[in-house]
Structure 1
Amino acid sequence: MKLKISHYTHYTYEEPIRYSVNEIRLTPQTDSRQFCYEHSISVNPEVSLFSYEDFFANKVHSFSVSEPHQELLIKAESIVLTNEKELQQGRPLPLSTEKKIIRSNTFQNHFTEYLNGTAYTKMSPELSAFVQDMEDLDSSGGIFLHLKKISECIYLNFTYDPKATDVHTTVEETLRLRRGVCQDFAHLMIAVCRSKGIPARYVSGYHFIGDLQGGHADYEQASHAWVEGYIPGKGWVGYDPTNNGMVNWRYVKIGHGRDYRDIVPVKGVYNGTAAQVLTVEVDVKVWDGQGE
């Protein structure tokens, strides 16, 4: 399926600021599941963009605005071709082999970035109690199915509530609140996976839901977050605990990291005392190649 994504980020300031430095991660990846067909980024005030790959191989654009400005507008537009079929289990390795692999020193050293806790996903008594109540790996039939059950458990036991949390909410807080948004549920699933010795990483991107909203439904789109778990013999596989499903053609991946901090879509600093207002608009649609 071909999807078109428009992502507008608009900062306004109470009074002109003197200088700002910014870093954006808004470029869809090209991998075995998707192909970035077209991509463009524009900034107003007009600036030069410097691009590079970060430690996790995500495409980054950075820029600075050296003249006084009271507005900053970043437009990212992409057309991405995604695989239409949901990943199936296929022929997994025997559970005994999977366990032997993930418990080996070689495996753990290789995936250490995705096995250790972070400020968002650290171990806590609340997390230990939550994991203890779950079905264990031996009962689930393998890592592929076990990750599906972790995702389902989060979906069934937590309430989606965009007013309950913010970008700084940790897993410990999410477990107390029993509610949150995609970022919180992704962090929780990552923490559970890592506690079981399964590498897991945070994924930032977009989720097309336009055809699920009803003909004239009024709904607000936004960036989305989900999880990739590593399965020996298969590789990284995507799970979405917010919607209780596998990652399929509806998902467009921007990048991944240990947690949200590694893949913040837009971040920056500015020189000045003025308060700022941030407005973000995201539109994801099926694209037939015709004009608007």
Structure 2
Amino acid sequence: MKLEIFHQTIYTYKESVEDSVNEIRLTPRTDSRQSCVKHLLTIAPDTELFSYQDYFGNVAHAFTVNKPHRELVIKSHSLVVTHETDQNVYNLLPLKKEKEIIKSEPFQNTFAEYLNGTSYTFITEEIKKYAATLPDVESSGSVYQLLRDISETIYSSFIYDPNATHVHTTVEETVKLRRGVCQDFAHLMSAVCRIKGIPSRYISGYHFIGDLQGGHADYNQASHAWVEAYVPGIGWVGFDPTNNGLIDWRYVKVGHGRDYRDIVPVKGIYKGTAKQTLSVEVDVKVVKDE
């Protein structure tokens, strides 16, 4: 499927600011399930963009606006073709072999950064207690099925509430509140996976919801977040605990990291007033070939 994505971020300042230094991650990745065929970034005031790949292989851009300005506008326009790839989920390894792999030292060393807690997914006793209430690999019968069970449990037992949390909410706070948004649920699923010995990474991207009604779909969010977890014998598999689904043609991945901090879409610093307003608009639509 071909998806067109417009993402606009506008910072408006009460007074003129200057020396604005920024880093953005808005370029969709190209991998086995999607191809970014077009991506255009425009910045106002006009400035030079520098692009590079970060540690996780995400495309990042940096720019500086030195002259005084009252408004900063960042526009991203992407065209992405998504593919329905067979993740070969029915060709699983025997449970005994899966357990041997995830407990092995080479496996744990390879995926160490996706097995440890972070500032968002810090593993506390409360999180361990919560994880203990969820299925384990023995009761689920396989790593893949365990991941589906974890995703479904979070979906069914937490309330989607965009007013309950903020961008810095940790998984311990989410468990106490029993509500949150896609970022919170992705962090929570990642934490639970890591406790159970399954590498998990946080995904930032977009979700086409133009023809969906009901559920936890957020029609006003700037972007979407979900999880990729590593299944022995298969590789990285995507799960969306916010909408209780696997990742299909509707999802466009921008980047991955250990948590939100690794792949913030737009971040920066500037010199001047602290009084500012932020406006974010996103439009994702299907493009029909003529």
TM-score, normalising length from structure 1?
0.95
Q: Does 1:36 align with 2:36?
A: yes
8 A contact 1:161–1:181 mirrored in 2:
yes
Which residue of structure 2 aligns with residue 254 of structure 1? 254
Structure 2 CA distance for aligned equivalents of residues 155 and 86 of structure 1: 24
8 A contact 1:39–1:76 mirrored in 2:
yes
Which residue of structure 1 aligns with residue 156 of structure 2? 156
Structure 1 CA distance for aligned equivalents of residues 269 and 63 of structure 2: 11
Which residue of structure 2 aligns with residue 239 of structure 1? 239
Quote how far apart the aligned CAs of 1:289 are. Answer: 5.0
Structure 2 CA distance for aligned equivalents of residues 228 and 93 of structure 1: 19
Which residue of structure 2 aligns with residue 7 of structure 1? 7
Quote how far apart the aligned CAs of 1:273 are. Answer: 2.2
Q: How is 1:1-292 mapped onto 2 (pairs within 5 angstroms)?
A: 1-84=1-84, 87=87, 89-213=89-213, 219-288=219-288
8 A contact 2:228–2:239 mirrored in 1:
yes
Q: Which amino acid aligns with 2:77?
A: E
Quote how far apart the aligned CAs of 1:129 are. Answer: 1.4
Quote how far apart the aligned CAs of 1:84 are. Answer: 3.5
- With over 3 angstroms needed to count, the CA separation of the structure-2 counterparts of 1:57 and 1:124, relative to structure 1, is same
Deviations 1:93-151 (A, max 9, x none): 11111111111111111101100000110111221111111121111111111000000
Which secondary structure does the structure 2 equivalent of 1:61 belong to?
strand
Q: Which runs of 4+ in 1 moved over 3 A?
A: 84-88
8 A contact 1:87–1:246 mirrored in 2:
no
Structure 2 CA distance for aligned equivalents of residues 81 and 117 of structure 1: 33
8 A contact 1:16–1:274 mirrored in 2:
no
Quote how far apart the aligned CAs of 1:232 are. Answer: 1.0
8 A contact 1:87–1:248 mirrored in 2:
no
- With over 3 angstroms needed to count, the CA separation of the structure-2 counterparts of 1:143 and 1:286, relative to structure 1, is same
Deviations 1:18-41 (A, max 9, x none): 210000000000000000011110
Give the aligned CA root-mean-square deviation in angstroms.
1.5
Structure 2 CA distance for aligned equivalents of residues 274 and 236 of structure 1: 41
Structure 2 CA distance for aligned equivalents of residues 3 and 88 of structure 1: 25
8 A contact 2:33–2:84 mirrored in 1:
no
In structure 2, the gaps of 5 or more residues are none
| Identity fraction in percent | 63
- With over 3 angstroms needed to count, the CA separation of the structure-2 counterparts of 1:219 and 1:229, relative to structure 1, is closer
Q: Which amino acid aligns with 2:156?
A: L
